[in-house]
Protein backbone atom coordinates (compact mmCIF):
# COMPACT_ATOMS: atom_id res chain seq x y z
CA UNK A 1 0.00 0.00 0.00
CA UNK A 2 1.53 3.30 -1.06
CA UNK A 3 0.70 6.50 0.75
CA UNK A 4 -2.21 8.42 -0.89
CA UNK A 5 -1.68 12.04 -1.87
CA UNK A 6 -3.77 15.13 -2.21
CA UNK A 7 -4.85 16.19 -5.69
CA UNK A 8 -3.81 19.72 -4.73
CA UNK A 9 -0.18 18.60 -4.76
CA UNK A 10 -0.42 17.59 -8.43
CA UNK A 11 -0.41 21.29 -9.30
CA UNK A 12 2.65 22.08 -7.21
CA UNK A 13 5.28 23.85 -9.37
CA UNK A 14 8.37 21.74 -10.04
CA UNK A 15 10.67 24.61 -9.15
CA UNK A 16 9.25 24.71 -5.61
CA UNK A 17 10.03 21.05 -5.13
CA UNK A 18 13.46 21.57 -6.67
CA UNK A 19 14.12 24.34 -4.15
CA UNK A 20 13.15 22.06 -1.26
CA UNK A 21 15.31 19.26 -2.67
CA UNK A 22 18.29 21.56 -3.11
CA UNK A 23 18.04 22.76 0.47
CA UNK A 24 17.66 19.20 1.81
CA UNK A 25 20.70 18.06 -0.17
CA UNK A 26 22.79 20.95 1.13
CA UNK A 27 21.72 20.41 4.73
CA UNK A 28 22.36 16.65 4.54
CA UNK A 29 25.77 17.20 2.96
CA UNK A 30 26.84 19.69 5.62
CA UNK A 31 25.56 17.55 8.48
CA UNK A 32 27.23 14.47 7.01
CA UNK A 33 30.55 16.29 6.75
CA UNK A 34 30.22 17.44 10.36
CA UNK A 35 29.53 13.90 11.53
CA UNK A 36 32.25 12.33 9.39
CA UNK A 37 35.01 14.86 10.02
CA UNK A 38 34.08 16.08 13.49
CA UNK A 39 33.65 12.77 15.31
CA UNK A 40 35.78 13.01 18.46
CA UNK A 41 38.02 10.10 19.33
CA UNK A 42 36.48 9.99 22.81
CA UNK A 43 32.86 10.18 21.62
CA UNK A 44 30.54 9.36 24.50
CA UNK A 45 26.82 9.03 25.19
CA UNK A 46 25.20 12.38 25.96
CA UNK A 47 21.90 10.90 27.18
CA UNK A 48 19.60 7.92 26.71
CA UNK A 49 15.98 7.73 25.55
CA UNK A 50 13.72 4.68 25.68
CA UNK A 51 16.28 2.45 27.42
CA UNK A 52 19.92 2.51 28.55
CA UNK A 53 21.01 1.25 25.10
CA UNK A 54 18.93 3.81 23.14
CA UNK A 55 21.59 6.49 23.05
CA UNK A 56 22.14 10.06 21.87
CA UNK A 57 25.62 11.48 21.34
CA UNK A 58 26.76 15.09 21.29
CA UNK A 59 27.11 14.71 17.51
CA UNK A 60 23.40 13.83 17.04
CA UNK A 61 22.55 17.09 18.79
CA UNK A 62 25.11 19.15 16.86
CA UNK A 63 24.00 17.75 13.50
CA UNK A 64 20.31 18.50 14.16
CA UNK A 65 21.18 22.06 15.17
CA UNK A 66 23.19 22.55 11.98
CA UNK A 67 20.27 21.31 9.86
CA UNK A 68 17.55 23.30 11.59
CA UNK A 69 19.64 26.49 11.70
CA UNK A 70 20.38 26.27 7.97
CA UNK A 71 16.77 25.59 6.98
CA UNK A 72 15.39 28.25 9.33
CA UNK A 73 17.74 30.84 7.88
CA UNK A 74 16.49 30.11 4.34
CA UNK A 75 12.85 29.28 5.17
CA UNK A 76 11.87 30.87 8.49
CA UNK A 77 8.18 29.99 8.20
CA UNK A 78 8.63 26.22 7.91
CA UNK A 79 7.98 23.71 10.69
CA UNK A 80 10.18 20.93 12.06
CA UNK A 81 9.94 17.45 13.52
CA UNK A 82 13.36 16.22 14.59
CA UNK A 83 14.53 13.18 16.50
CA UNK A 84 16.56 15.21 18.96
CA UNK A 85 13.77 17.58 19.90
CA UNK A 86 13.21 20.05 17.07
CA UNK A 87 9.44 20.62 16.95
CA UNK A 88 7.50 23.57 15.55
CA UNK A 89 4.35 23.94 13.48
CA UNK A 90 5.38 26.66 11.05
CA UNK A 91 2.99 28.63 8.87
CA UNK A 92 4.12 27.77 5.32
CA UNK A 93 2.57 24.29 5.06
CA UNK A 94 6.07 22.77 4.83
CA UNK A 95 7.44 20.65 7.66
CA UNK A 96 10.92 19.15 7.75
CA UNK A 97 11.20 15.67 9.27
CA UNK A 98 14.79 15.14 10.35
CA UNK A 99 16.92 12.32 11.68
CA UNK A 100 20.33 13.96 12.02
CA UNK A 101 22.08 10.66 12.69
CA UNK A 102 20.22 7.48 11.83
CA UNK A 103 22.30 4.60 13.17
CA UNK A 104 23.68 6.29 16.28
CA UNK A 105 24.92 3.05 17.85
CA UNK A 106 26.81 2.21 14.64
CA UNK A 107 28.32 5.70 14.73
CA UNK A 108 29.24 5.36 18.40
CA UNK A 109 31.09 2.11 17.69
CA UNK A 110 32.80 3.39 14.53
CA UNK A 111 30.73 1.26 12.16
CA UNK A 112 30.06 2.82 8.74
CA UNK A 113 26.30 2.22 8.43
CA UNK A 114 24.82 5.54 9.52
CA UNK A 115 23.11 8.34 7.66
CA UNK A 116 21.54 11.78 7.72
CA UNK A 117 17.85 11.63 6.78
CA UNK A 118 15.85 14.73 5.79
CA UNK A 119 12.31 14.79 4.40
CA UNK A 120 10.09 17.71 3.49
CA UNK A 121 6.35 17.37 3.94
CA UNK A 122 3.83 19.65 2.28
CA UNK A 123 0.40 19.71 3.90
CA UNK A 124 1.23 16.41 5.61
CA UNK A 125 2.55 14.52 2.60
CA UNK A 126 6.21 13.71 2.06
CA UNK A 127 7.28 15.37 -1.18
CA UNK A 128 11.09 15.40 -0.88
CA UNK A 129 13.47 12.88 0.68
CA UNK A 130 17.25 12.87 1.06
CA UNK A 131 19.41 10.26 2.78
CA UNK A 132 23.15 10.90 2.90
CA UNK A 133 25.45 8.03 3.89
CA UNK A 134 28.89 9.68 4.08
CA UNK A 135 30.99 6.58 4.81
CA UNK A 136 29.38 4.85 1.83
CA UNK A 137 30.09 7.93 -0.24
CA UNK A 138 26.47 7.85 -1.40
CA UNK A 139 23.48 10.20 -1.25
CA UNK A 140 19.98 9.09 -2.23
CA UNK A 141 17.17 11.48 -3.07
CA UNK A 142 13.67 11.64 -4.47
CA UNK A 143 10.91 14.10 -5.26
CA UNK A 144 7.32 12.84 -5.28
CA UNK A 145 6.44 11.75 -8.80
CA UNK A 146 9.95 12.35 -10.10
CA UNK A 147 11.77 9.05 -9.51
CA UNK A 148 14.61 8.21 -7.14
CA UNK A 149 18.30 8.82 -7.71
CA UNK A 150 21.68 8.42 -6.07
CA UNK A 151 25.11 9.97 -6.37
CA UNK A 152 28.23 8.11 -5.34
CA UNK A 153 31.47 6.59 -6.55
CA UNK A 154 30.04 6.16 -10.05
CA UNK A 155 30.11 9.10 -12.43
CA UNK A 156 27.11 11.40 -12.31
CA UNK A 157 23.64 10.65 -10.97
CA UNK A 158 22.15 7.17 -11.14
CA UNK A 159 18.44 6.38 -11.33
CA UNK A 160 17.33 3.86 -8.72
CA UNK A 161 15.07 0.88 -9.28
CA UNK A 162 14.09 -1.91 -6.92
CA UNK A 163 14.89 -5.50 -7.81
CA UNK A 164 12.90 -7.52 -10.35
CA UNK A 165 10.16 -9.77 -9.03
CA UNK A 166 11.37 -12.81 -7.13
CA UNK A 167 9.56 -15.45 -5.07
CA UNK A 168 9.71 -15.02 -1.32
CA UNK A 169 12.12 -17.91 -0.83
CA UNK A 170 14.65 -16.07 -2.99
CA UNK A 171 14.23 -12.71 -1.26
CA UNK A 172 16.96 -11.06 0.79
CA UNK A 173 15.21 -9.01 3.47
CA UNK A 174 16.29 -6.86 6.41
CA UNK A 175 14.82 -5.94 9.73
CA UNK A 176 15.73 -4.09 12.90
CA UNK A 177 15.25 -4.41 16.63
CA UNK A 178 13.91 -2.05 19.25
CA UNK A 179 15.91 -0.88 22.26
CA UNK A 180 13.30 -2.06 24.79
CA UNK A 181 14.05 -5.60 25.94
CA UNK A 182 10.50 -6.97 25.78
CA UNK A 183 9.93 -5.58 22.30
CA UNK A 184 13.26 -6.95 21.04
CA UNK A 185 12.43 -10.42 22.34
CA UNK A 186 9.17 -10.52 20.36
CA UNK A 187 10.86 -9.09 17.26
CA UNK A 188 13.41 -11.89 17.45
CA UNK A 189 10.58 -14.42 17.49
CA UNK A 190 9.06 -12.84 14.37
CA UNK A 191 12.43 -12.85 12.59
CA UNK A 192 12.90 -16.51 13.49
CA UNK A 193 9.58 -17.34 11.80
CA UNK A 194 10.43 -15.32 8.68
CA UNK A 195 13.97 -16.67 8.30
CA UNK A 196 13.09 -20.16 6.95
CA UNK A 197 10.81 -18.58 4.33
CA UNK A 198 13.34 -16.23 2.69
CA UNK A 199 16.83 -16.35 1.21
CA UNK A 200 18.29 -14.66 4.29
CA UNK A 201 17.85 -11.77 6.73
CA UNK A 202 20.17 -8.80 7.26
CA UNK A 203 20.27 -6.27 10.10
CA UNK A 204 22.20 -3.11 9.29
CA UNK A 205 21.17 -0.76 12.08
CA UNK A 206 19.97 2.20 9.99
CA UNK A 207 16.36 2.24 8.81
CA UNK A 208 17.04 5.06 6.37
CA UNK A 209 19.87 3.17 4.66
CA UNK A 210 17.95 -0.09 4.52
CA UNK A 211 14.99 1.64 2.86
CA UNK A 212 17.43 3.07 0.32
CA UNK A 213 18.90 -0.41 -0.15
CA UNK A 214 15.41 -1.58 -1.15
CA UNK A 215 15.27 1.35 -3.58
CA UNK A 216 18.65 0.53 -5.09
CA UNK A 217 18.06 -3.22 -5.45
CA UNK A 218 20.41 -4.29 -2.67
CA UNK A 219 17.52 -5.75 -0.67
CA UNK A 220 14.18 -7.23 -1.69
CA UNK A 221 12.44 -5.95 1.43
CA UNK A 222 12.76 -4.41 4.88
CA UNK A 223 10.42 -4.26 7.87
CA UNK A 224 10.63 -2.93 11.39
CA UNK A 225 8.35 -2.16 14.31
CA UNK A 226 8.86 0.85 16.56
CA UNK A 227 10.23 3.36 14.08
CA UNK A 228 9.35 7.03 14.21
CA UNK A 229 8.47 9.27 11.25
CA UNK A 230 12.00 10.71 11.11
CA UNK A 231 13.37 7.17 10.67
CA UNK A 232 11.33 6.36 7.57
CA UNK A 233 9.94 9.55 6.01
CA UNK A 234 12.76 10.19 3.53
CA UNK A 235 13.70 6.56 2.91
CA UNK A 236 10.13 5.42 2.28
CA UNK A 237 9.63 8.10 -0.36
CA UNK A 238 12.89 7.10 -2.05
CA UNK A 239 11.82 3.45 -2.02
CA UNK A 240 8.40 4.25 -3.49
CA UNK A 241 9.87 6.40 -6.23
CA UNK A 242 12.18 3.50 -7.14
CA UNK A 243 9.19 1.20 -7.65
CA UNK A 244 8.89 -0.42 -4.23
CA UNK A 245 5.66 -0.67 -2.28
CA UNK A 246 5.59 0.77 1.22
CA UNK A 247 3.07 0.39 4.01
CA UNK A 248 2.46 -1.01 7.44
CA UNK A 249 -0.31 -3.31 8.53
CA UNK A 250 -2.65 -4.37 5.69
CA UNK A 251 -4.50 -1.36 4.34
CA UNK A 252 -2.41 1.12 6.34
CA UNK A 253 0.58 3.33 5.56
CA UNK A 254 3.90 2.90 7.33
CA UNK A 255 3.70 3.93 10.98
CA UNK A 256 5.42 3.30 14.31
CA UNK A 257 3.41 0.08 14.56
CA UNK A 258 5.06 -1.28 11.42
CA UNK A 259 7.07 0.13 8.53
CA UNK A 260 7.54 -2.16 5.54
CA UNK A 261 9.02 -1.62 2.08
CA UNK A 262 9.61 -4.24 -0.57
CA UNK A 263 9.42 -5.07 -4.22
CA UNK A 264 5.76 -5.51 -5.21
CA UNK A 265 5.98 -9.32 -5.29
CA UNK A 266 7.73 -9.62 -1.94
CA UNK A 267 5.41 -7.06 -0.36
CA UNK A 268 2.36 -9.05 -1.47
CA UNK A 269 3.80 -12.30 -0.13
CA UNK A 270 5.34 -11.08 3.12
CA UNK A 271 2.86 -8.50 4.42
CA UNK A 272 0.15 -11.05 5.39
CA UNK A 273 2.80 -13.19 7.07
CA UNK A 274 4.06 -10.26 9.12
CA UNK A 275 0.45 -9.62 10.14
CA UNK A 276 -0.06 -13.26 11.13
CA UNK A 277 3.26 -13.36 13.00
CA UNK A 278 2.35 -10.25 14.98
CA UNK A 279 5.18 -8.06 13.70
CA UNK A 280 3.10 -5.02 14.63
CA UNK A 281 2.82 -5.67 18.36
CA UNK A 282 5.02 -6.59 21.32
Question: What is the pLDDT, as a whole number, of residue 1?
Answer: 56
Is-contact 121 232, C-beta < 8 A?
no
CB count within 10 Å of CB 242 equals 26
Model confidence pLDDT, tens digit, residues 67-91: 999 999 999 999 999 988 888 989 9
Decide if domain 7-159 falls under CATH 3.30.540.10: yes
Is-contact 204 174, C-beta < 8 A?
yes
Choice among 33-47, 59-73, 113-127, 180-194 with the minimum mean pLDDT? 33-47
* pLDDT above 90: residue 47: no
Model confidence pLDDT, tens digit, residues 220-258: 999 999 999 999 999 999 999 999 999 999 999 999 999
Q: What is the DSSP string of 34-57?
A: HHHHS--TT--EEEESSSTTSEEE
Question: What is the pLDDT, as a whole number, of residue 9?
Answer: 55
Q: Which of 38, 42, 84, 79 is nearest to 61 (CA)?
A: 84
Model confidence pLDDT, tens digit, residues 201-211: 999 999 999 99
Is-contact 58 64, C-beta < 8 A?
no
* pLDDT above 70: residue 4: no
Q: How confident is the model at residue 13 (pLDDT cuts 50, 70, 90)?
A: low
Model confidence pLDDT, tens digit, residues 111-164: 999 999 999 999 999 999 999 999 999 999 999 999 999 999 777 899 999 999
**What is the CATH topology of the domain spanning 168-276?**
D-Maltodextrin-Binding Protein; domain 2 (3.40.190)
Is-contact 89 106, C-beta < 8 A?
no
Sequence spans of domains, the chain: 7-159, 168-276
Burial 15-46 (b: 16+ CB within 10 A, else e): eebeebbebbbbbbebbbebbeeeeeeeeeee
Question: What is the pLDDT, as a whole number, of residue 8?
Answer: 45
Cα 133 to its chain centre, rounded Å, is 11
- Residues of the chain above pLDDT 90, percent: 80
Q: How many whole angstroms separate alpha carbon 4 and alpha carbon 188?
A: 32
Amino acid sequence: MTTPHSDLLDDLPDDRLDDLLGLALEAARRAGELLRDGRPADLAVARTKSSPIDVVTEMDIAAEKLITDLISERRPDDGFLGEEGAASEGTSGVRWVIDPLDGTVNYLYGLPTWAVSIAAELDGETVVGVVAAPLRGETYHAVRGGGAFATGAWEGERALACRPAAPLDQALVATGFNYVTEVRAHQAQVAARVLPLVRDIRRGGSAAIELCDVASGRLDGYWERGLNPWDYAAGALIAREAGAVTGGRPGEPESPALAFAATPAVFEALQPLLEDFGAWHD
